[in-house]
Every structure is written in structure tokens, then in C-alpha cells.
Amino acid sequence: MNYLLIVRQSRTQVSKKHVTKRKAKIMNATKPKDLRAVDIRAITGHLKRLSWLFITGLAVCALWQVTTAAGTKKQVTKPFAERAHQVVVADMASLGYDFPFIHWTIREEVGEATHWGRFVSEGEGRFNVLTGENTGTGEVITASKDILEWSLAYNPDGTATVDWIGISGRFTGATASAVLRITVEGVTSEGDGRYAVYTQTFEGKGTITY
């Protein structure tokens, strides 16, 4: 009897000790580490990454500003002069289908201007026989293949005001304006009188900004 009691007590003590050790093991396994140390390391690493990103961003912005500043050229306005010879063909038959306008085209134009040098030009326009308004548009192609678009309007005093805008090459974004005096050197007809062919020169001065 006593023997059985001792055995039962021993088993109970062993069982309690086993449970105690197991609980201690579980508690140790689930016990959080030093949260303060972990948080500090995590925060430090995060701050280092943020600092690196911030510095990289500043470097990219600085490079962009330098590149932009280097690629942006301050425009300057300078004196401009042009002289050219052209052949213009007026289609008198256009009065029949687009009255009161006579349509004209530049058959040939060769000239020279300050800044862009020798050039050729092409364009077209129309003349209002009732109001005397004469306008046209076209483009200039320089010897270096720069292209400038132009618009023209004749003035009552026989001059013409021409404005240019650079659209390609080294004159991209350039603007110019000049008042040109036109001298008609001769007029002939073609196509049984349908076409009037004007041979003329013009020259003038203005400004160019680029």
C-alpha cells in the first residue's frame, strides 16, 4: 500500500516536472526578443535607405538642371536683311472659280539673308481684286537645310511685311520680321493669257531673334 502511494507520488512529481519544463520551453520560445534593439536596427536601416534615395534624387535633379541650363540658349534679337529674286505665276482663271481672288504661286525664288545665308523659297497666296489685299504663305530652305515658315501681307504703299518662324535646324524657334520693297522687272503671259508671270526682286530690313 505504501509502495503504491510512493509510486503514484513519484509519477505525479515527474509528470508535474515534465509539464513545468515544457511550459518553460514554450514560454522561452514565444518570449519576444529585445524589441527596443530590433526596432532601432530596423529604423536605422530604413533611415539609411531613405537617405540614399534622397541623395540620389537630389543628384538626379541637379543633373537635370545642369543639362537643361546647358541646352537652353538665351535668345538675342539682331538686325536682319534680305534680298531675293523671284518668279511668280498668277492664275487669272482662278477668278472664275474663286472670285474675287487671283491665286498665285512662286515658281522660283533664290536669295540671300543675314544669319541664314543663301536660300531658296516656295509658297503661294491669293490677291483680292476688290480690296487689294494680297497675302501668302510658304517656307524658306537655307543652304544648311534649315527650314523657316513665312507669312506675307502686302501693304498699301507697295511694300510687303514678312514674318518667319524657324521650324527645324539651328533656327528652330527663331522669329524674324522685315518690311520688303518689291520691284517688278517684267510681266509676261503663258497659256493663252491664263497665266501672268511676274519677274521681280525684293529687299528689306528687319530683325531676327534666335
Residue 106 contacts residue 126 (beta carbons within 8 Å): no
pLDDT of residue 6: 42
Domain region containing 105: 77-209
Domain match, 174 and 116 both? yes
Domain boundary among 71, 90, 110: 71
Domain match, 192 and 130 both? yes
Domain match, 84 and 61 both? no
- Give the DSSP letter of residue 31: S
Domain boundary among 40, 71, 102: 71
Sequence-separated (6 or more) residues with CB below 8 Å from residue 76: 209, 210
Let me know if 48 is exposed, middle or buried by CB neighbors in 10 A (0-12, 13-18, 19+): exposed
Domain match, 67 and 155 both? no
Domain match, 52 and 81 both? no
Domain boundary among 71, 90, 109: 71
pLDDT of residue 7: 42
Q: Is residue 120 left, alpha or beta, with left meaning phi > 0 and alpha meaning psi from -120 to 50? A: beta
Q: What mean pLDDT is reported for the chain? A: 80
Query: What are the angstrom distances between the C-alpha of 3 and each of 7, 9, 14, 25?
Result: 6, 10, 16, 33
pLDDT of residue 74: 84
Per-position pLDDT tens, the chain of length 210: 444 444 444 444 544 554 455 555 545 544 544 444 455 555 555 545 555 555 555 554 555 554 444 455 688 999 999 999 999 999 999 999 999 999 999 999 999 999 999 999 999 999 999 999 999 999 999 999 999 999 999 998 889 999 999 999 999 999 999 999 999 999 999 999 999 999 999 999 999 999
How far, in Å, CA of 31 to CA of 20, rounded? 16
pLDDT of residue 120: 98
How far, in Å, CA of 196 to CA of 166, rounded? 31
Domain count, the chain: 2
pLDDT tens-digit readout, 62-105: 555 544 444 556 889 999 999 999 999 999 999 999 999 999 99
Residue 153 contacts residue 126 (beta carbons within 8 Å): no
Domain match, 90 and 146 both? yes
pLDDT of residue 71: 52
Q: Model-level pTM? A: 0.65
End-to-end CA distance of the chain: 118
Residue 109 contacts residue 122 (beta carbons within 8 Å): yes
| Residue 26 CA, distance from chain mean position | 68
Domain match, 138 and 162 both? yes
pLDDT of residue 70: 46
Domain match, 120 and 144 both? yes
